[in-house]
Amino acid sequence: MSAPLLPWLILLPLGAALIAGVTPAVRMAAARGLTWAVLLVQCVLSLQLLSGDYARAGYRFVERGELGGVRYALGVDGLSLWLVIAVVWSAPLLLLSHRQASRAALVAVGWLQGALVGALCAFDLLLFFLFFEMALIPPLIVARSRGALRRVFFEWSTGLALLAGIALLAVQYREQTGRLSFDLVELGQLLLPVETQRWYFLLFSLPFLARLPLPPLHAPSADAAAEQAPLSGALSLLATAPLGLYGLMRVSMTLFPAGAHRAGVTLAAIGVAGILYGGLAASRQRDARGVLAYVVLAQAGLSLLGLLSITSMGVIGALLMVVVVSLSGVIAWSAPSALSALVIVGLPPFAGFVAQLLVFGGALRAEHLGANGTPLSVVAALGLTIVGVRALWLSRAQAPRIGTRAVPVGLGALLLLGLLSGAVVERMEPAADHFARVYTAKLKTSDGHPERRGLLERVGVGDE
């Protein structure tokens, strides 16, 4: 596609945030109107992404160029498509949940939307890192609690590991090719020994795992969740939910499959432990927001299990679960209720139910998990059952409430995604198949086998 769609999706909300930040207090009504206009335009533009041809793997709406001497590369494929749309549509839902948005809220929502879309579309690693770190700022703009500050400091510190890994990998690429590159597609062609991939995988994955969040890295996020106001909590959820799993898949597992394979069963077990821990912790909560916090933690574990199955079905289910958490979690945090928790848990026919079926289907047939797929699925199902029972109990003690106008809009979107899940999966399946095939092909040639490049060309590595 020739239209520069992706740069507009990134720059428009960032521009609206800048304008809201410098607008005099007496003209805040005009700033609110402008922000709303931009967010609605964003929703329309995001739907244009559906016009792309996703029948085969590869990036669509690709934009490459230079801005101020800095190279950039943007694109969207079947794996990032629905995440981008979910992020774009979550922003107006946030403002709809807070009718009289303050200057800080307007700046935070615009900033976060631009940063998230940028991170989800960037396949230049330096640009990805920039947007990845920018996404941590918005929750602090609206609330500066100690818990939020600890969380941001912790996640920024883990981001330094990612920056160091990117620099080391770029230098290694220059040693092999004679030129410097941060392009994710080009770096995917590197010949790296298994042991090197293992250390790179650990270095790159730390910041992504910190944002999921799962035990033992969940403590800073749990502290922040306990202290944050509704808007700050919703912003924190939206800042972390999409990028943790997506970054792990798009960056760490794509570049270092041998390292991911070595740690795969362990990470899947950590994900399942997170599900069980989330279920047990949710059972001790006495209000909807407390239950919701641990429901999100449990769903993060389920997403990780689906991703590490390395099956088309599991990967699609994992990403669809992130879409569900991004949409329903944002509105639920703003207007918590048992109904919101049930939707995230997987109440049929909402999209969360479809996502769970796909994850379990992928995990049960996952060759990469070996004989561990079935027991891990059983324990995961037990944890989700505990969460579901707690949400049902809460629904009896507290009548489901609609809360703000954002709730029916968000629930309607999730219901539509669930009813049209066939069309959703159809756009994701070719890219998910390609991801699984390339991952498996790289595993077979991870020690620099002489036929590596020929094999990777046959499975289509680097296709755009």
* Per-residue pLDDT tens digits for 157-175: 889 999 999 999 999 999 8
Is this prediction's pTM over 0.85? yes
39-44: long-range pairs with CB below 8 Å, 24+: 39/13, 39/91, 39/92, 39/95, 39/109, 39/110, 39/113, 40/92, 41/12, 42/9, 42/12, 42/13, 42/88, 42/91, 42/113, 43/88, 43/89, 43/92
- Give residue 339's pLDDT: 66
- Give residue 255's pLDDT: 93
Token couple for 68: 């101020």
Residue with tokens 């200057």: 103
Instruction: Provide mean pLDDT across the span 326-331.
Output: 75
**Percent of residues, the chain, with pLDDT higher than 70:** 83
Instruction: Provide mean pLDDT across the span 437-456.
Output: 64
**Percent of residues, the chain, with pLDDT higher than 90:** 48
Residue 327 has pLDDT above 80, yes or no: yes
193 — pLDDT class (breaks 50, 70, 90): confident
Q: Where are the domains of the chain?
A: 5-445
Residue with tokens 């916090």: 293
Residue 341 has pLDDT above 90, yes or no: no
Residue 449 has pLDDT above 70, yes or no: no
Residue 454 has pLDDT above 60, yes or no: no
- Give residue 279's pLDDT: 81
